[in-house]
Structure 1
Amino acid sequence: MASNAAVPFWRAAGMTYITYSNICANLVRNCLKEPHKSEALTREKVHFSVSKWADGKPQKPTIRSDTPEE
């Protein structure tokens, strides 16, 4: 049974919530004045590790950075 409830506009636009929240966060960061803007831009960077698995055991992890394109 289909629901007639209102659909969030980000879903109606074909976005995921993560995409929508990233766009909003970028807009807020770009509106800040210095020195708060540069501090917020440094917190935007994400670091994570990736491990491949072989024979049920993790291999040596590699450190990755997901930094935004400038």
Structure 2
Amino acid sequence: MASSTAAVPFWRAAGMTYITYSNICANLVRNCLKEPHKTEALTREKVHFSLSKWTDGKPQRPTLRSDTPED
């Protein structure tokens, strides 16, 4: 049977990836929470990571990055 007759998830039909769809849903849920739960959830959504540049097969000093703007 051809795969074109299979059901396609609506997020894919809308041109989104699952990660994008999931992030939109998570943001909606976090914004619907009442205080103090909303503030707690919003602080947990922040992501921090480090990047290391590699030169001659060795990592250089890592740089701490964040997906949120710094205040």
Tell whether the structures are fold-level matches, with TM greater than 0.5. yes
SS of 2:15's equivalent in the other structure is: coil
**Stretch moving more, 32-41 or 51-60:** 51-60
- The amino acid across from 2:53 in the alignment is K
| Identical-residue share of aligned pairs (%) | 91
- The amino acid across from 2:31 in the alignment is N
CA RMSD of aligned residues (A): 1.5
Alignment gaps of 5+ in structure 2: none
> Which segments of structure 1 move beyond 3 Å, counting only runs of 4 or more?
none
SS of 2:7's equivalent in the other structure is: coil
Q: What do the CA deviations read for 1:21-68 (whole angstroms, capped 9, x no partner)? A: 000000000000000000000001000001111111111110001127
What's the TM-score, normalizing by structure 2? 0.88
**Stretch moving more, 27-36 or 51-60:** 51-60
Alignment gaps of 5+ in structure 1: none
**Is 1:25 matched with 2:26?**
yes
Q: Counterparts of 2:58 and 2:9 in 1: how far apart (Å)?
A: 42
